Amino acid sequence: MSTCSTCGIGHVYYRREHEGASLCRKCFVESVERKVRRTITKNRMLEPNDTVAVALSGGKDSVALLRILSGLERRFPSAKLLAVTVDEGIEGYRSEAISISRDLCRDLNVEHLVVSFEELFGITMDNVASTQTELQPCSYCGVLRRKALNEVARRVGSTKVATAHNLDDEVQTALLNLMHGDIERTFQSCSSSRTESKLVPRIKPLAEIPERETMLYAYAVGARFQSLLCPHGRDALRGDIRVMLNRLETKHPGMKYTIFSSMERLSELTRKARKLRDFRTCRICGDPTPNEICEACMMLRALKLSAASTQTPLTVRSD
Ligand code: SF4
Ligand code: ZN
Ligand code: ZN
């Protein structure tokens, strides 16, 4: 059996093709944590006095993220970490995740908040999925979850929101936006840190860790994470992009990083132009938006209209 190319002692747990490295479990875990620290430093994601709200869904990525950040917190004693789980209202799916998240936070001694779509917006994702809508349920879910996290982070005085998007998520999203002709988002999505006015800045410390590695990391540290799949997750195009990128990566190791770096460079070029954009205040909720009404409020309004026309018992709070 071959031995680890870093320490020369341990048995090989993972072979990182694009680096030509064969790593034992311990060296693999350390290399992932080191890479996350590098991403944080390179993008100046954290300040010593930050209060960071970690979006904890209970999946492998967010569980790995919270474990890594809680290790970092010990190095920054004046920083504060808390975890936020958003309950989208998906019967039989979220309860497992909430219990995993609660146990993890108790073990790591991290404050844990749970907030629901129902409480914030008066809807559940089960309602949305059973309503005839223009977009896939995931499109509504993503926008509303972002809004929910921002809202909670603001309420509790967080200075950053950390999400567990990994390298695969970032590259897939960028390509999806490109295919949908959303040029601005294409180059925004890969940016690891976002600092638009009034929105709590969002950081993505796992943006340079491939999905396969976040999963192996979670297994390697013995973490428990959600096993159930969401019944509403049917984004077929994203699935196809995922398969295509994985094929490319197998044939050309490091391809996901190459695409990611290109997106980052293009993002840098368009950052100036974005800064010049005139941000206004949403007429309904007061959040910053380039339009008169923000995307989340537009969606809530569309859901309300759609529910009314199909007579679905969807309750969306009125403006
Ligand atoms: Fe929401 Fe889609 Fe994720 Fe389900 S799969 S939790 S609907 S984003
Ligand atoms: Zn080793
Ligand atoms: Zn709004």
Answer whether residue 11 is part of any domain. Answer: no
Q: Please give the mean pLDDT across all residues of the chain.
A: 88
Answer whether residue 148 is part of any domain. Answer: yes
Q: What is the pLDDT of residue 133?
A: 74
Distances (CA, A) of 312 to 138, 177, 303: 19, 30, 10
Ligand 1 atom 6: residue of nearest CA = 230
Answer whether residue 185 is part of any domain. Answer: yes
Centre of ligand 2 to C-alpha 12, Å, is 8
Task: Kindly state the average pLDDT of the residues 280-296.
Answer: 88
Task: Kindly state the average pLDDT of the residues 67-86.
Answer: 88
Could you tell which of 86, 135, 141 is best to mutate to test the pocket of ligand 1, judged by most ligand atoms within 8 Å of the CB?
141
Q: What is the pLDDT of residue 191?
A: 44
Answer whether residue 231 is part of any domain. Answer: yes
Q: What is the pLDDT of residue 14?
A: 97
The pair of structure tokens assigned to 197 is 């006015």
Ligand 1 atom 2: residue of nearest CA = 138
Q: What is the pLDDT of residue 189?
A: 47
Task: Kindly state the average pLDDT of the residues 47-55.
Answer: 94
Q: What is the pLDDT of residue 188?
A: 63
Distance, in Å, from the CA atom of 132 to the CA atom of 307, rounded to the nearest integer, reads: 7
Ligand 1 atom closest to the Cα of residue 141 is 1
- Judged against a pLDDT cut of 60, whether residue 258 lies above it is answered with yes
- For the segment 211-251, what is each residue's pLDDT rounded down to a tens digit? 999 999 999 999 999 988 899 876 778 889 999 999 999 99
Centre of ligand 3 to C-alpha 147, Å, is 9
Pocket of ligand 1 (CB under 6 A): 88, 125, 137-138, 141-142, 230, 232-233
Q: Which domain holds residue 168?
A: 43-275
- CATH number, domain of 50, equals 3.40.50.620
Answer whether residue 67 is part of any domain. Answer: yes
Q: Are 105 and 75 in contact (CB under 8 A)?
A: no
Q: In total, how many domains does the chain have?
A: 1
pLDDT class of 277 with cuts at 50, 70, 90? low
Distance, in Å, from the CA atom of 67 to the CA atom of 57, rounded to the nearest integer, reads: 13
Centre of ligand 2 to C-alpha 27, Å, is 4
Answer whether residue 253 is part of any domain. Answer: yes
Ligand 1 atom closest to the Cα of residue 57 is 6
The pair of structure tokens assigned to 101 is 């998240």
The pair of structure tokens assigned to 187 is 């180059």
Q: Are 120 and 86 in contact (CB under 8 A)?
A: no
Q: What is the pLDDT of residue 304?
A: 84
Q: What is the pLDDT of residue 220?
A: 97
Centre of ligand 3 to C-alpha 149, Å, is 14
More confident residue, 79 or 148: 148
Q: Are 293 and 280 in contact (CB under 8 A)?
A: no
Answer whether residue 51 is part of any domain. Answer: yes
The SS3 call for residue 248 is: helix
Answer whether residue 226 is part of any domain. Answer: yes
- For the segment 145-196, what is each residue's pLDDT rounded down to a tens digit? 999 999 999 999 999 999 999 999 999 999 988 888 776 666 664 444 444 5
Centre of ligand 1 to C-alpha 237, Å, is 15
